[in-house]
Amino acid sequence: MSDGSVPTPFLSIEDVVVRFDIKRTLLDRLTGQPARAIHALNGVRLEIPRGETLGVVGESGCGKSTLARTIVGLIEANDGRVMFEGRDVAGLKGGARRAYNRRVQMIFQDPYGSLNPQMSVRQVLTEALSVHKMRSKAEIPGRIAELLDLVRLPQDAADKRPHEFSGGQRQRIGIARALAVEPEILVADELVSALDVSVQAQVVNLLLDLQQRFKLTVIFVAHDLRLVRHISDRVAVMYLGEIVEIGETEALFTAPRHPYTRTLLDAAPDLDPTRRTRVASAKGELPSPLSLPSGCRFHPRCPYVFDRCREEHPILKAHGARQLAACHLEDFSKAGV
């Protein structure tokens, strides 16, 4: 509590803006082209309570990975703040910063790329345990055995190297490495998208078990809506660097409040569309993040567009107790097209 009455949010993302500047070429300079930037995050605002699993979905290029990387501190925001237990992460120094880096762990899509091929699993885990001084030297072998059990790998895995494992097993090693430092938040960016479908469910169920066992807060970035529905308490839908809808998982999946969410759900083959009223879908391609549309960023593709959408940027507003959506229509599913 900050003043004895208002609870301090566990993790809050406050109007975060991230731009990637594009280097001007010689030709750009000669032809007087102005400097340009990719607008990857355009004012993302989000609070994540302790213990929640938040799914983050949206088309490729909408800023999911940028958001994940900004939360763990791999990308610095141009504007806005990431607040952890009421403190601005950008301002954390020394021991406080190291503590944040330990408490918030990222698991990457490609464990092969993030695991040193020369190191055995034992060395990988020993390194993780030593960097953050999690255990004394004498305690490390016991902790490694425990971690292998936790991610359901056999004990002899400790002396093997990454190439001796399947993709799913490597992903378990990545999870064990993250767990070694006893994090409170796990940020999983496309954790299973490189794996076979049959293996995906096993790894996601493992994550779900670990989340419950250690009361972890999980940010689960994924394309696969079926998996997101399975694992998440709430889901945030991103479009062109903004959250256009956020809500409790079942509410959002059964009665989406933003036309873009509906488009995403309609495009997912293995969700049951018969439970939703059919409405019109988005048209066209995702606009370039180099030059954002005016008003509602979704308006050029929205089947329900009207004048206000072209001019006024909608903010997230409540639809009942369980959802927020940034759309000028009160209820788009009742609008005529």
Ligand X SMILES: Nc1ncnc2c1ncn2[C@@H]1O[C@H](COP(=O)(O)OP(=O)(O)OP(=O)(O)O)[C@@H](O)[C@H]1O
What tokens were used for 325?
A: 């959506």
CB atoms under 10 Å from CB of 124, counted, come to 22
- Is position 60 an interface residue for ligand X (rule: CB under 6 A)? yes
Shortest spacing between CB 75 and ligand X, in angstroms: 8
C-beta of 301 vs 328, nearer to ligand X: 301
61 binds ligand X (CB under 6 A): yes
Query: Among residues 14, 36, 38, 73, which is the contact residue for ligand X, using CB under 6 A?
Result: 38
Q: Decide whether 150 or 186 has the Cβ nearer to ligand X.
A: 186
Tokens of 63: 């800023």
Q: Rounded to the nearest whole angstrom, what is the least distance from the CB of residue 172 to ligand X in the complex?
A: 22
Q: Does 64 bind ligand X (CB under 6 A)?
A: yes
CB 187, min distance to ligand X, A: 12
Interface with ligand X (CB under 6 A), residue from 256, 259, 289, 300: 289
Judged by CB under 6 A, the stretch of 55-63, 196-204, 227-235, 255-263 that binds ligand X is 55-63
Question: Using CB under 6 A, which of the segments 63-71, 150-158, 248-256, 277-285 binds ligand X?
Answer: 63-71
State the minimum distance, in angstroms, from the CB of residue 39 to ligand X: 8
Q: Cα angle at 257 between 256 and 263, to 5 degrees? A: 55
Per-residue binder mask for ligand X (CB under 6 A), 151-190, x = binder: ----------------------------------------
- Is residue 185 helix, strand or coil? strand
Please spell the DSSP secondary structure of 145-183, one letter per residue.
HHHHHHTT--GGGGG--GGGS-HHHHHHHHHHHHHHT--
Count of Cβ atoms closer than 10 Å to residue 52 Cβ: 18
Q: Which of residues 6-25 bind ligand X (CB under 6 A)?
A: 20
Q: What residue has token string 């990988």?
A: 124
Quote the CA–CA distance of 167 and 158 in Å, as a whole number: 16
**Residue 66 in the binding site for ligand X (CB under 6 A):** yes
Give the residue, chosen from 9, 55, 58, 183, that forms a contact with ligand X under the rule CB under 6 A: 58
- Three-state DSSP state, 123: helix
73 makes contact with ligand X (CB under 6 A): no
Q: How many other β-carbons are positioned within 10 Å of the β-carbon of residue 337? A: 10
Give 160 or 223: the residue with its C-beta nearer to ligand X: 223
CB 144 within 8 A of CB 122: yes
CA 221/CA 236 separation, integer angstroms: 10
- Give min distance, CB of 283 to ligand X, in A: 20
Residue 291 touches ligand X, criterion: CB under 6 A: no
What is the size of the binding site for ligand X (CB under 6 A)? 12
Q: Residues near 167 by Cβ (< 8 Å), separated by ≥ 6?
A: 111, 112, 194, 195, 196, 199
Distance of closest approach, residue 21 Cβ to ligand X, in angstroms: 8
Q: Binding segment for ligand X among 64-72, 82-90, 150-158, 295-303 (CB under 6 A)?
A: 64-72
Taking CA atoms, 120 is separated from 110, 181, 195, 260, in Å, by 17, 18, 22, 45
- How far is residue 179's CA from residue 190's CA, in Å, rounded to a whole number? 18
Q: Which residues of this protein are in contact with ligand X, per CB under 6 A? A: 20, 38, 40, 58, 60-66, 289
